[in-house]
Amino acid sequence: MGGLSLKRLTFFLLIALFLGFSSFEHCNARKGKHWRHKHNRAASASLAKMKGKSHGKSHHHGSSGSGSKPKPPSPPGKGHTGPKEHTPPPPPPPKKYNGGHSAVFDVLDFGAKGDGNTDDTKAFQAAWAAACKVQASTVVVPSEFVFLVGPISFSGPYCQSKIVFQSLKSNNSVELCPSLNTVYVSDLLQLDGTIIAPTSSKAWGSGLLQWLEFTKLKDIKIQGKGVIDGRGSVWWSESSLDDPRDDETDLIVPITKDSMNDSLDTPISSELSGKMPSIKPTALRFYGSIGVTVTGITIQNSPQCHLKFDNCIGVEVFDMIVSSPGDSLNTDGIHLQNSQNVLIHSTNLACGDDCVSIQTGCSNVYIHNVNCGPGHGISIGGLGRENTKACVSNITVRDVMMHNTMNGVRIKTWQGGLGSVQGVLFSNIQVSEVQIPIVIDQFYCDKSKCKNQTSAVALSGITYEKIRGTYTVKPVHFACSDSLPCMDITLTSIELKPLQERYHLYEPFCWQTFGELSTPTVPPIDCLRIGKPSSNRIQSSHDSCSA
């Protein structure tokens, strides 16, 4: 019996060892699979980096990476509470995108309809709120949809870094390309749709300064071929005669009364006059952000400015389009304020005000290879309004084509201002049918009357070279301050020929403008005073920008 028990005990021990070994192998296999999964994800990410990270490019039109196109959500059945309802459901788990290294949040999964009629603002907010918690996430706005989005602000101080706001599309989608920390819109997909603004006064209350706003972000990139449509005509037609105007009508005198009415009248009020608020919003605004890129998209028909950067450092805008009628009031293309290290290039800007407006606090701005027109040209200012201090420095504008604009390159300041503009280069500007190609106006006034004041924003170190083409009013208008004349104004290779249209033609005009002619000019700009002024007020420390 003892021998038998020993044999049975040995048999049970062998079985136990076999089962333990099998369990150990199974656990190791699971761990190995998990390791391989992590390893493959890392390898995919490394491969993506080796291929240039693809910058959000992908051949698929959905967010799952399966190659299937996103489908419009079907109407939910009775009692249905799935993720396609308009009321935002609980946040779904993020999908994976681009090799699995980016979490994707599709606005359709948060209740967006994308039918162009339903208000999708809450769905965009919900998608952003979820993405904000995940580092290197992507917010996807699919392509076959048109999204009606009301005033919205995407804020970044408490968000994870490198969040992507991506608009994927194939046919008719809109892309709001917002993002707070890097907005990628796949440049391999055609973004042909639009995000549209509401045209009901109820959506705007008493008035707002912006429609789509991105604040306090880092490394933001908006990229794509979609359209952001402000539907601003309802605002333009209701513009009051008291709105600030940029006509400088004293410089431009039409030949006939009829042409004056055609060119200088404000838009006729519509039957809806008085219903929209007087404060008109900017379409897309970035505030307090570092490392902002906007490329590929179209912004059109903004109620006021199309694209604005306030208090931003490190901005690049390229391969994008701004499109609004030439008579749309105060619709600047790109507006810069208190922003440094800005690069704008390879862009088409057509609007009803300045193609690019550079305001106080801007430095190290480089603009090149830009098409401007219609519009009011590229302007520095107006600066110094209501006796404020303005500082602008190191501005380069070159390789620009302007057609049918009010001005070419312009600097404008109000009387009574303080500060300075210095270190400005305008080079290789081709003008066609431009009213006044070169303008300095230190008596700028957007009202019917402005009082004379002695203090001024000082202008110095302004260079104009290779500015050629045709004008319709006058080639050059330099109107500088009596107390602070313009100094170090250099003109080189200026060739401007008149094109008689509907305006009187004038000779070059200069007032208190000092500098040099490096080469003969066409026409001769004999009014420029060579050298420096005999007496010039020295700026005190409180109004100098060097402090």
Phi, psi dihedrals of residue 366, rounded to the nearest 5°: -125, 115
* Contact residues for 42 (Cβ-Cβ < 8 A; gap 6+): none
Element containing residue 11 per DSSP (H, E): helix 2-50
| 353 among known catalytic residues | yes
| Dist. CA 121–CA 176, nearest whole Å | 11
| Dist. CA 391–CA 148, nearest whole Å | 39
Strand locations in 361-452 (E): 363-372, 378-383, 389-403, 407-413, 418-434, 436-441
Active-site residue (options: 376, 441, 477, 543) = 376
Around Cβ 297, how many Cβ atoms within 10 Å?
A: 27
| Dist. CA 383–CA 505, nearest whole Å | 28
| Dist. CA 38–CA 31, nearest whole Å | 11
Render the burial of 139-148: b for 16+ CB within 10 Å, e for the rest.
Answer: bbbbbbbbbb
| 55 among known catalytic residues | no
* Contact residues for 51 (Cβ-Cβ < 8 A; gap 6+): none
Query: How wide is the angle at C-alpha 164 spanned by C-alphas 163 and 165, nearest 5°?
Result: 125
Element containing residue 31 per DSSP (H, E): helix 2-50
Which alpha helices (H) appear in 89-177, and where do they start and end?
A: 121-132
Active-site residue (options: 120, 332, 353, 543) = 353
Q: Which residues are catalytic?
A: 353, 376
